Amino acid sequence: MATKCSGGKPAKFGIKVSNLANTWFETSATNKKMVNDLVGGDVSSAFGLPASLVTTKGEKMSNGGTRVSINMEFQTADDATKVRAAFKAMAKNRRAGVALSFESLELLPADAKVDPTATMSVEIEDEIEDGTSVMGADMLIGLSSDVAPSLIVAVLGALVALVF
């Protein structure tokens, strides 16, 4: 895997989940992790990214639902370019009835819903924007066995540079 710096510019987009109760989402880190894992899995499947490179953040919508901001980081600049192009193509196709699926959110418990009798009702926003780099070194190590040696070399190189 290339180093984090050469992974291309992170990207983000949002989904509005009108039936994901923001009060439930904000209640605990466990609830946030459950949503992150489901959304990360869906994004990973759709774009061919490791789920560990996908993070989410929620904000309350006026109806009590949750807008989920999805941040994606990349292993290579080529991955970043491909995902941005694929997202833009999906945005065009969504208008024609083809959509990125977030059906996994239906696996959330009934108390995660504003209305337990309704579906999650996911609206994918059409714009992809520049994201932010939020991955720490500990998260990068979990991506691949190739990362640990390159990270150690980078850290040692930085230490040598500081000492000499």
User: For all residues of the chain together, what is the average pLDDT?
Assistant: 81
Q: What percent of the chain has pLDDT over 70?
A: 74
Give how far Cα 84 sits from Cα of 11, 23, 89, 144, Å: 8, 32, 9, 23
User: Any alpha helices (H) in the chain, and if so which ranges?
Assistant: 22-27, 29-47, 77-94, 137-141, 147-163
Q: Which CATH class is domain 4-134?
A: alpha beta
Q: Determine if the pTM surpasses 0.85.
A: no
**Please, what sign has the CA dihedral across residues 37, 103, 27, 15?**
positive
Q: How far is CA 157 from CA 4, 10, 152, in A?
A: 16, 25, 8
φ, ψ of residue 8 to 5 degrees: the values are 85, 160
Picking from 17, 93, 1, the residue whose alpha carbon sits closest to that of residue 50 is 1
Q: What is the pLDDT of residue 8?
A: 82
- Going by pLDDT thresholds of 50, 70 and 90, the confidence category of residue 5 is very low
